[in-house]
Amino acid sequence: MENQRSTLSIPTHRMTDTTERRRTAGDGARAETPPAAPTTGRPALPGPPEMPVAAGKRARGFILFIILAALLLMTSVAVVNALVDPYGILGTGVFPTATTSDRSVKADLIEKLKQAPQLIVLGSSRSMRYDPEYLQQKTGLRTFNAGVNIIGGAADVWAMTNYLHDRFPQSHPRYLWLVDVETFTTTVKESLAAEPRLARYLDKTTGTAGRAGSELTTIGGDLKSLLSWATTRDSLRILVHQSTASAKEQAFRRQFRPNGGIAAKTMSPAERQHQTAESLARYTLLYQTAYHAMDPQAQRYVEQTLALLNQSGAEPLIVLTPLSPMFQQKLGPLGWYDRHQQVVDFFSSLASTYGFTFADMTSVSTWGGSPTEFFDGVHPSYANIHKLIDFLVQNYGGALR
């Protein structure tokens, strides 16, 4: 028993000793530092090297220099591209442009008009050969042709109508609006968006917020264009070959007369045959791959244009433009017949809402035109255009006077 008690007293003594040491440490005495844990054999990771203060300042200075140099280079590129303005986006007019745009030419001509037009021709490239002088001779109205080169063109008509209205806000002209069956394809073309005097109207149909959003998008796109290599390359090309670019632009502008008409153009039978084949291939591709239904945005632009014209007191004569019988036969099964009927039905549905006169002139037999007098199947010759104008004046003259 004594041996057992002696054996049992040993842990009691150790516990008491340990408790005492903890109490002592808790009273402020320094506790014993436990020995370091043994290593497992892996070397300790060294700390990151410290850069000397002077070297760090030099590195930061170098990085700052690179950033400032890049900003200076970007600013210089943007300034040069803005000044040269190779695509006519900003309208600086200091240098000739790398591209030619009839929209810019028409906007320039409108700015130079001394008097407001009394009759305005609207439409795509098919409208451009409707001679203002011949129309003035037949109607007695001072005429301006505002048509531009495009397949589609609802957005162009909207923008051009707004621009003319803002240029002559007190005028009340008549309108001859030449609509193609293909007017209701995708509407906005880059050359329209690139002409700032017209592009500002593109989102006007969506209200103030839409215009602001469009302007921000346009600003961002313009800035990106100003900094692009392609723009810089074309700017340098214009600076190096300024005389050649200027001669090309002037030759293009000489095609247009002050009233918006274009100089008469003759084509040999071989040229007509070639142009007709190219045109048929282009429109065949359009109907096979893209034009399966009327574009809703194009419809909206047409309605907004009608509303604007009615608000200004005008009720336009809308003419569905002619197509050669051969083209109708070729394109009809591809969708032209269906799109044609949809366009006719669309304007019929608008008759109770807007004031306008509608004339379907797609068939040459309607107005006594020649089935072969087309430059390329879609653009009538001058002889056919004069016949059509005579027919319109005789049968729809009230809308043109």
- Give me the CATH number covering residue 124: 3.40.50.1110
Q: Nearest-5° angle of CA 68, CA 70, CA 75?
A: 95
Are 373 and 267 in contact, with CB atoms under 8 Å apart?
A: no
Choose the most confident range, by mean pLDDT, from 9-23, 181-195, 222-236.
181-195
pLDDT reported for residue 217: 39
Instruction: Examine residue 38 and state whether it is found in any structural domain, yes or no.
Output: no
The phi and psi torsions of 291 (rounded to 5 degrees) equal: -90, 80
pLDDT reported for residue 240: 77
Instruction: Examine residue 326 and state whether it is found in any structural domain, yes or no.
Output: yes
pLDDT reported for residue 160: 94
Q: What is the largest CA-CA distance in the chain?
A: 144
Choose the most confident range, by mean pLDDT, from 22-36, 99-113, 315-329.
315-329
- Mind listing the pLDDT tens digit for each residue in 379-400? 999 999 999 999 999 999 888 8
pLDDT-derived band at 25, boundaries 50, 70, 90: very low
If 0-12 CB within 10 Å is exposed, 13-18 middle and 19+ buried, where does residue 272 land? middle
Structural domain for 340, as ranges: 103-207+269-400
Q: Residue 377 pLDDT more than 80? A: yes
- Mind listing the pLDDT tens digit for each residue in 137-182? 999 999 999 999 888 889 999 999 999 999 999 999 999 999 999 9
Instruction: Examine residue 353 and state whether it is found in any structural domain, yes or no.
Output: yes
| Number of domains forming the structure of the chain | 1
DSSP of 192-207:
HHT-HHHHTTTTGGG-
d(CA 174, CA 156): 18
Q: Residue 108 pLDDT more than 80? A: yes
Averaged pLDDT, 327-356: 97
Lowest mean pLDDT among 201-215, 273-287, 361-375: 201-215
Report pTM: 0.71
Report the percent of the chain where pLDDT is more than 70.
Answer: 74
The tokens describing 118, both together, are 């009394």
Instruction: Examine residue 90 and state whether it is found in any structural domain, yes or no.
Output: no
Instruction: Examine residue 10 and state whether it is found in any structural domain, yes or no.
Output: no
- Residue 49 CA, distance from chain mean position: 55
d(CA 260, CA 110): 8
Instruction: Examine residue 216 and state whether it is found in any structural domain, yes or no.
Output: no
Instruction: Examine residue 131 and state whether it is found in any structural domain, yes or no.
Output: yes
Instruction: Examine residue 165 and state whether it is found in any structural domain, yes or no.
Output: yes
- The amino acid that residue 290 corresponds to is A
Instruction: Return the SS3 of 20.
Output: helix
Q: Residue 113 pLDDT more than 90? A: yes
Averaged pLDDT, 109-127: 95
d(CA 77, CA 88): 16
Averaged pLDDT, 250-270: 86
